[in-house]
Amino acid sequence: MPEKQQKAWFFVALLNWNKVKNDRIMPWKGEKDPYRIWLSEIILQQTRVEQGTAYFQQFVTRFPTIHDLAKAPDDVVFKLWEGLGYYSRCRNLIQTARFISEQLSGAFPTTLEGLKQLKGVGGYTAAAIGSFAFDLPYAVVDGNVLRVLTRVFGVAEPIDQRLGREKLDKLAQELIDISHPGLYNQAIMDFGATVCKPKQPICSDCPFAGRCIALKENKQSFYPLKSPKKASRNRWFYYLVLEHADGFYVRQRTQKDIWQDLYEFILIESEQVQSEVEITQPSYWGLTKKEFPAIKLNVSDEMIHVLSHQRIHCRFVHQVVKSTILLEGYHWVSRSQFDQLPFPRMITRYLESKIQ
Ligand code: SF4
């Protein structure tokens, strides 16, 4: 662990770099409004800044205050979230907005513990909101920060295991400049994103070059260490896109699983690959030949969606039918209603390629 005087060199060098060289622009930078900070942090969890920025702007335009977001119907918020993935974040966003709007009269908690009580707000997000909005002296520890600290201080424990993580959280807290916690936190994240990057860090122009252990050992790509990855689970999703009278049969995914609360076509999930011959049989979908004639059948190629521990293999069988069909759990929606519903990215990718 760094000595007392080492703490000062770290934040002095960092804040000096921030003042002289940091030109990273982000729409929420310097923001003091906890609502906008919270929104940006939730959007940025598991999302790149480049992708998250457009979503952030759409959200603050559509919902300028937390009360506006709290009043919005679920489907409207999910539709705006569409494409960002990890939909549990969106569910938590809605619940937290309603809680703060209705129970706290729109005011965010001003302590770390109070912030951590909010749904979807863990230690990292609480420290970010607390330090940016209320100058609370807590270090944020995201992927950028972990990379910088493991490299500069040569921390060789895996960052995704308890011991390594505790050590780094403690180190981060020891290093923070408690007089400027928000400025310090933003600076270290910007530094990790623009200088101490995952690949090809710019060591030749780094204020820590003289002390950095990774540079000294020429082991920049060794840090940060992670545990070996678990094998991912394969799932095969076969969708029947049943089109009737300029509308489609859909259902909402209510089970606790990926894409919860989003909409989808008629689904049969399998633990193994199914042949095209199989998935174009009426009986595969529990339908009769009359309900599912073999005309106008269109089958997509396999599309793959990779999630953190799952690979979803997906094929779509598109069929236009003349008469109404009764399908338990599914209902028909007109195309204009359909356009308002939120779908998983996999389905919107298919729609963009096939139906527009
Ligand atoms: S010297 Fe290189 S590896 Fe070390 S902190 Fe600076 S940019 Fe990162």
Q: Of 222, 247, 273, which marks where a domain is finished?
A: 222
Number of domains in the chain: 2
Confidence at residue 323, expressed as pLDDT on a 0 to 100 scale: 84
> Measured from the CB, is residue 305 less than 6 Å from ligand 1?
no
Confidence at residue 264, expressed as pLDDT on a 0 to 100 scale: 97
**Six-digit token string for 35:** 């609502």
* Residue 329 zone, left/alpha/beta (φ > 0; ψ -120 to 50; rest): left
Report yes or no on 228 lying in a domain: no
Same domain, 256 and 288: yes
**Tens digit of pLDDT for each residue in 31-52?**
999 999 999 999 998 788 888 9
**Tens digit of pLDDT for each residue in 298-333?**
899 999 999 888 999 999 999 988 888 888 899 999
Q: Of 166, 196, 222, which marks where a domain is finished?
A: 222
> Measured from the CB, is residue 17 less than 6 Å from ligand 1?
no
- Look at residue 42 and give its three-state secondary structure: helix
Report yes or no on 35 lying in a domain: yes
Confidence at residue 130, expressed as pLDDT on a 0 to 100 scale: 97
- HSE toward the beta carbon, residue 333, CA cutoff 13 A: 16
Closest protein CA for atom 4 of ligand 1:
212
Give the largest CA-CA distance in the chain: 81
What is the average pLDDT across 236-256?
A: 94
- HSE toward the beta carbon, residue 80, CA cutoff 13 A: 23
Please determine, for residue 3, whether its predicted confidence score (pLDDT) is greater than 60: no
Same domain, 161 and 244: no
The residue behind tokens 């424990």 is: 157
> Measured from the CB, is residue 152 less than 6 Å from ligand 1?
yes
* Domain coverage including residue 301: 233-354
Report yes or no on 21 lying in a domain: yes
Same domain, 208 and 255: no
Task: Report the 10 Å Cβ neighbour count for 242.
Answer: 24
pTM exceeds 0.85 for this model: no
Same domain, 193 and 295: no
Report yes or no on 162 lying in a domain: yes
Same domain, 72 and 207: yes
Same domain, 170 and 146: yes
CATH number for position 298: 3.90.79.10
What is the average pLDDT across 78-85?
A: 91
Task: Report the 10 Å Cβ neighbour count for 320.
Answer: 15
Distance between CA atoms of residues 191 and 21, nearest Å:
10
* Ligand 1 atom closest to 220 (CA): 3
Same domain, 261 and 342: yes
Report yes or no on 173 lying in a domain: yes
Contact of 206 with 150, CB cutoff 8 Å: no
Report yes or no on 180 lying in a domain: yes
* Ligand 1 atom closest to 208 (CA): 6
Query: In angstroms, what is the span from residue 153 Cα to ligand 1's centroid?
Result: 10
Query: In angstroms, what is the span from residue 163 Cα to ligand 1's centroid?
Result: 23
Same domain, 215 and 266: no
Active-site residue, selected from the candidate residues 3, 31, 41, 174: 41
Contact of 220 with 203, CB cutoff 8 Å: yes
Angstrom distances, CA of residue 8 to CA of 11, 157, 188, 206 = 5, 24, 14, 17
**174 a catalytic residue:** no
Contact of 82 with 345, CB cutoff 8 Å: yes
For strand 310-320 and strand 331-334, is the pairing parallel, antiparallel, or unpaired?
Answer: unpaired
Of all residues in the chain, the percent with pLDDT exceeding 90 is 79
Same domain, 246 and 205: no
Confidence at residue 307, expressed as pLDDT on a 0 to 100 scale: 87
* Ligand 1 atom closest to 223 (CA): 3
The neighbouring-strand residues paired with 234 are 311
Q: Of 222, 248, 280, which marks where a domain is finished?
A: 222
Q: How big is the chain by its Cα radius of gyration, in Å?
A: 25
Same domain, 200 and 264: no
Query: In angstroms, what is the span from residue 151 Cα to ligand 1's centroid?
Result: 7
Query: In angstroms, what is the span from residue 308 Cα to ligand 1's centroid?
Result: 28
CATH number for position 94: 1.10.340.30
User: Given pLDDT bands bounded at 50, 70 and 90, which one contains residue 295?
Assistant: low
> Measured from the CB, is residue 203 less than 6 Å from ligand 1?
yes
The neighbouring-strand residues paired with 314 are 237, 303
Pocket test for ligand 1, best of 21, 171, 200, 206 (most atoms within 8 A of CB): 206
Kindly state the DSSP code that residue 341 receives in the 8-state scheme: S
Same domain, 205 and 261: no
Same domain, 163 and 250: no
